[in-house]
Amino acid sequence: MEKYLEAYIERMRTQYPRFRPDTAHEIASAFLAFKFGLYENAARECTQAISLIPDSTPNAALKKALAIVRANAADRSNAQVNADNSVAFSPDERPYTAINLPAEKIEDPGTYELDNALILVYVVARITSPDDEEALDEHRRMIIRLLTDYKKAMGIE
């Protein structure tokens, strides 16, 4: 799945070539706060990042990813452990996600949306925030594990 992730990063690099350093850092901070279980901070970082990201078609998908992470962070800070499926990627945003499955192959829609959101946020942060590169690289295995969970459903051997 390492090659799959690298191909996805390269595909997203053309869609998200750069953000202002403060915006890129907010995106990275949102991912890292969620990953470390700092859910109130993650929700706040997501809100801040969304407000800094300019409008565009690819950025709509990124803003949705951050909104999905924010909704899940808010739920987890309130001791709700099930993935929140009240916010989801639209068909227009789906091409920017790493995992695209037909509905019948999605076992848990909330987790599916959250996994795609975390992967997209991670990848955009990795591309656009060189200051956070080292911290993000420490979590690459988590992203590989998320992708591996969907390997069979995606038809990858």
Distance CA 112, CA 119 (A): 11
Give the total number of structural domains in the chain: 1
Residues 30-46 as b/e (b if ≥16 CB within 10 A, e otherwise) read: bbbbbbeebbebbbbbb
Q: Which domain holds residue 62?
A: 2-154
At what angle are helices 39-52 and 57-77 packed, to 10 degrees?
160
Distance CA 123, CA 120 (A): 5
Q: What is the pTM of this model?
A: 0.94
Decide: 98 and 8 in contact? Cβ < 8 Å: yes
pLDDT of residue 123: 98
Coil, strand, or helix at residue 80? coil
pLDDT of residue 72: 93
pLDDT of residue 95: 96
Extended strands (E) in 5-93: none
Distance CA 140, CA 138 (A): 6
pLDDT tens-place values along the chain, 157 residues long: 999 999 999 999 999 989 999 999 999 999 999 999 999 999 999 999 999 999 999 999 999 999 999 999 988 777 776 666 678 999 999 999 999 999 899 999 999 999 999 999 999 999 999 999 999 999 999 999 999 999 998 888 7
